[in-house]
Amino acid sequence: MTAKPQTMVIAVFGAAFLPEDGRAFRTALELGGLLAKQGWAVATGGYGGTMEAVSRGAAEAGGHTIGVTCETLIRTGRRTNAWVGEEIRCETIPERLFTLVRLADAAIALDGGIGTLAEISFCWVQIQTGELPPRPLIVIGPVWKETLDAFFLSADGYVKDPDRAIIRFAASPLEAVKMVQAR
């Protein structure tokens, strides 16, 4: 793993495949730009969809972008997106996830699927167990609000209030950036 930049690094998780003319792509593009305008580096998984949109938004705003890629996904034909300024290449998906989460001073998740859920969960448990010092873990959008609300309801008694409080909900990229600023 390369040395951590001196600026804050914000990891962004989200869907690997998005239509460029869709709302989710525009939201990710906006988030990348807002993060870069704060002077923060943006770290993603380095491929398409949300990762590409966030990286593009950050790069177009003059920000530093980091893509944490892995040999496993490269062998399946995935290519690092053109907006990644610095690539950190890992061997496996677990190593990639570990590197991305450990690199981040804060994490923000946009809508996504199984991979995004794994990223949120891994980051959450790392903070919950003290493996990582407390840091913002923010989810944006109805997918995570509805999913986590249902989880909290079903897992009543298993997830304590302090552990629930690790994850914060934001209605928009701007609200998420303000939450990171307030940390």
Residue 134 within a domain? yes
What is the rounded CA–CA span in Å between residue 10 and residue 109?
10
What is the rounded CA–CA span in Å between residue 133 and residue 170?
21
Residue 108: name the closest of 43, 19, 16, 38 by CA. 43
Residue 4 within a domain? no
Residue 2 within a domain? no
Residue 3 within a domain? no
Provide the 8-state DSSP code for 130: T
- CATH of residue 83's domain is 3.40.50.450
Alpha helices in 17-113 (DSSP H): 23-37, 50-60, 71-75, 93-103
* Phi, psi of 15, rounded to the nearest 5 degrees: -60, 140
What is the per-residue pLDDT across 91-132, written as a single tens digit (0 to 9) for each?
999 999 999 999 999 999 999 999 999 999 999 999 999 999
Indicate the pTM of the whole model: 0.94
Residue 1 within a domain? no
Residue 55 within a domain? yes
Q: Is the pLDDT of residue 11 over 60?
A: yes
What is the per-residue pLDDT across 38-79, written as a single tens digit (0 to 9) for each?
999 999 999 999 999 999 999 999 999 999 999 999 999 999
Boundaries of domain holding 30: 9-181
Per the structure block, which two tokens stand in for 113?
């699927």
What's the domain count of the chain?
1
